[in-house]
Amino acid sequence: MTTTIETTNNSSRSVSLQLQTSEHSTAIAMGDFEYQYRVPEIKDPHIKRDWLLNQMAGAFRIFARKGFNEGPAGHISVRDPIEPRTFWINPLGVHFSLLTAEDMVRVDEHGNYVGGNKAPINLAGFKIHSAVHKARPDLNVACHVHSVWGKAFSALGRKLDMLNQDACIFYNNHDVYRNFGGVAVETEEGENIAKAFGPTNRALILQNHGLITAGSIVGEACYLLCLMDKICETQIKTDSVYASGLYDRIVIPDKEASFTYSITATSANLYASFCSDYELEAIPKDFKLRKLARKPIRFVDPNSINFRKPVTLLTEHATLELESTKEAREDALYRKYLETLGWHLGGWSSWMLGVDFSANDALLYDAFVKGFMVAISPQLSHESLQPSSVVIPRGLHNPTLRHVFYACGATYLSWKRPEYREFAEQKFLQCMKEMQWFLNQNSLVGNEDWLLICMVTLCLREKYQCENTARNAFFLIASLQIIECWLLNRNLPFESFNQLLDALVLNKTNFKMLPMVRTDPEINDATYWTDELSYMLREGDVTNLERTILESFLYNYSVTLFACEASVVDYIKSPFQVYAELKPYLLPPLYHCPAWWMNNPIMGAALSAFELAAKTNWLSLFFPLNAKNKMVAEKLLTLSKYYLPPVLPENVRFHESDFVQRRLMESCLIGNIVAKACTILLSKLLNPRLQPDAPEIQEEIDVFFSNLRKLSPHAQSSGLCSWPFAVAGSAVIKEDQRLYLIERIRTFGVMKKSSGLMSVMRFLFTTWGSDTDPGPGLDVLLDKEYLRNTFL
């Protein structure tokens, strides 16, 4: 039996190890399937040390979440598997939620520093734990905290009663140390506590002090302590009710308690019980509860940033020189993480295991993984929902999809090498012909998933190539047809999809070639409008592919409508329908994450704001608005004016690093930025004579810039800002704000290597004009002619 453990060596590289696991599992497991929470049998002591330290860090995170932190009090000690006469213990005074494996200090039985983190430790903790480890060689781990319920119950000076099944885990397995002699800074006090453990006990109530538990592994001791604190709470509450005289107090008989203990109190079962809490702490951190590497990382092209050159940004009042800031380094480190994620999904680096690449294909695939996929991954989300995790593995056995990868890689390289543009276009036409050939031989049904990946990925490619806005719309229409066939179980005329492919292959993207969409005549009626936007939930199973690809489609659909000609309404469905039908695939949380919007890998916390944007852009296609559309626009305007983004959950603000908080907060800022753009566009649609210097417009612009300044210069989520930059930018009238906005767009565009963002910059220059040749200003929002070559 084997299990895989993620560990980290001294050079901070992740190593995946296949380890033998114990055949002895918990007595409560049932079924023909392998039980995943087994205690691993690790033969290499160096690997075991690494595993134990990571589990130790996880145990402290669990204690923090349960509220056990109490100043300098509380400690965990772990016997070192290489030098058993030494043990690891936490540094003095560091909050449990901040501790990592690298923070632990190794000392010998006399308290002398041996290795690990160079930091002071708790004297009383050392006296107690060293005595326990010396007296009981079978106990490799000891945990002690000053929890609220543990302290309260310890004042009673009595053992636990077997009042419930969980309490039976402590049946004849704990005792009370009644000789409290003050803070245990003397060796004698520590030795007395160790004696109270006796030859077999694994838990001890320190009278007027707190709780201490021990075990052979971290999970066992940690779970015992957490459970003991709960049992103390349960008994105190039970006794308080029993004191009323209205209820009985029933204690489990010895025979039943002994039997329950034999089943539930094994080391294997206690470790398995610990795993659920440990995973909650470790999964969001990829099972590596460690600090970022202290040494600078060398970034590999084509996704590198030169930190030696300062970045110049023009603020409202002055020129600001941004040197190699901590935020910039962390932004780059996050892109390095996304890059590395893509490597491992296909095999390693520039190769896919089992795929024979030519030299050119290897280069293009490398650019696709390290560049293109990194650039289109805007959010800090669960790793399994990242676009790379969804897209790359499906190319392993699909040559047509791999050709899409090559086309996107070539497009990404064309940023610095313009000669690749023609080559990228050839690769694009090649993959389109392959799709056309495949569908001439096979049915669309059963192939919808990878075909949808092709359509959405090629739609994103258009934003980098900036070749054809109509082609971009064709990809969205094709994507929507696949979605209807795949997820909404609707019959799709085969000829309709073939028409789209033929048009794309021939590069003749004329909407008149397409069949018209039958639209509900009441589609824009206020009665159809949804008050809750994207907050209506429906239970159902949603896969990672469905969540990520559908959300990517919806983002592109939402912003692309802005640049479409009015005639597109005859060929594509309304966002009022599309969002209503796809909500069940967007909202149910797939993973337990620190913030709920980490389950939305593309739009994140701004999901509802982009729904507002989609409906606003759709209404702009009907300008001038009729009475019914004005009713809808007014309701949307109210929503955008009073839009409130999510706030960081309390557990994120207190338990996550500044970097994680900043990443998650940026998603909320994007929502605010998009909402301000919606307000400006809706105001113009309702009042075509509105000028940009109107107080209500400039008020929105000020809030827009307030949020923009909070985005870091290289924010990964900046790729979502092209639409709000174009809309809100048209209303900017102050010269310093214009300079600042242009510089931010340029910085984001260079970081993303996105020609689409650069097209927004050109659009704004045209919109603003010059002193001698003024541009259309805010009126540009009502003139689709200006938007024709803008890629959002």
Delimiting residues of CATH 3.40.225.10 domain(s) in the chain: 45-285
Q: What is the DSSP letter of 511?
A: G
Per-residue confidence (pLDDT) for residue 18, from 0 to 100: 35
pLDDT per position as a tens digit, 8-60: 333 333 333 333 333 344 556 676 666 677 888 888 888 888 889 989 999 99
Report the C-alpha gap between 735 and 686 in whole angstroms.
27
pLDDT per position as a tens digit, 348-382: 444 455 556 677 888 888 888 888 988 888 998 98
Return the top range by mean pLDDT from 63-77, 329-343, 355-369.
63-77
Asked if pLDDT for residue 520 goes beyond 90, the answer is no
Asked if pLDDT for residue 488 goes beyond 80, the answer is no
Q: Using 50, 70 and 90 to split pLDDT, how confident is the model at 280?
A: confident
Looking at this protein, which amino acid is placed at residue 627?
A
The pLDDT of 490-517, averaged and rounded, is 48
Least Cα distance to 170 among 238, 103, 257, 44 occurs for 257
Per-residue confidence (pLDDT) for residue 555, from 0 to 100: 93
The pLDDT of 186-197, averaged and rounded, is 83
Rounded-to-5 percentages of helix, strand, coil across the chain: 55, 10, 35
Per-residue confidence (pLDDT) for residue 791, from 0 to 100: 61
Per-residue confidence (pLDDT) for residue 316, from 0 to 100: 35
Q: Token pair for residue 332?
A: 């780059």
Q: Using 50, 70 and 90 to split pLDDT, how confident is the model at 494?
A: very low
Angle between helices 267-282 and 218-242 (to 10 degrees): 100
- The contacts of residue 279 (CB under 8 Å, 6+ apart) are none
On average, the pLDDT of the chain sits at: 80
pLDDT per position as a tens digit, 252-263: 999 999 999 999
- The contacts of residue 647 (CB under 8 Å, 6+ apart) are 668
pLDDT per position as a tens digit, 103-120: 999 999 888 888 888 889
Asked if pLDDT for residue 161 goes beyond 90, the answer is yes
pLDDT per position as a tens digit, 525-563: 433 333 344 433 344 478 888 899 999 999 999 998 888
Q: What is the dihedral of CA 607, 631, 562, 456, to 10 degrees?
A: 40
Q: Using 50, 70 and 90 to split pLDDT, how confident is the model at 468?
A: low
Asked if pLDDT for residue 209 goes beyond 80, the answer is yes
Report the C-alpha gap between 548 and 536 in whole angstroms.
19
pLDDT per position as a tens digit, 672-720: 999 999 999 999 999 999 999 999 999 999 999 999 999 888 888 888 9
Q: Using 50, 70 and 90 to split pLDDT, how confident is the model at 217?
A: very high
Higher-confidence residue of 86 and 355: namely 86
Going by their DSSP bridges, the two strands 347-348 and 319-322 should be labelled as: unpaired
Asked if pLDDT for residue 516 goes beyond 60, the answer is no
Beta strands in 69-140 (DSSP E): 75-79, 86-89, 105-108, 113-116
Higher-confidence residue of 108 and 771: namely 108
Q: Where are the alpha helices (DSSP H) in 32-122?
A: 45-65
Half-sphere exposure of 676 (CA within 13 A, CB side): 27
Q: Report the topology of domain 45-285.
A: L-fuculose-1-phosphate Aldolase (3.40.225)
Q: Using 50, 70 and 90 to split pLDDT, how confident is the model at 669?
A: very high
Per-residue confidence (pLDDT) for residue 790, from 0 to 100: 66
Report the C-alpha gap between 73 and 206 in whole angstroms.
14
Per-residue confidence (pLDDT) for residue 427, from 0 to 100: 86
Give the angle subtended at the CA of 710 by the CAs of 704 and 715, to the nearest 5°: 105
Least confident of 12-26, 323-337, 434-448, 469-483: 12-26
Q: What is the DSSP letter of 721?
A: G
Return the top range by mean pLDDT from 95-104, 681-690, 748-757.
681-690
- The contacts of residue 474 (CB under 8 Å, 6+ apart) are 500, 503, 504, 509
Q: What is the DSSP letter of 377?
A: -
The pLDDT of 161-169, averaged and rounded, is 95
Q: Map residue 113 onto helix, strand or coil.
A: strand
* 67 alpha carbon, distance to own chain's centre: 25
Q: Using 50, 70 and 90 to split pLDDT, how confident is the model at 489?
A: low
Least confident of 52-66, 123-137, 245-259, 646-660: 646-660
What's this model's pTM, rounded to 2 decimal places? 0.58
Least confident of 280-284, 715-719, 758-762: 280-284
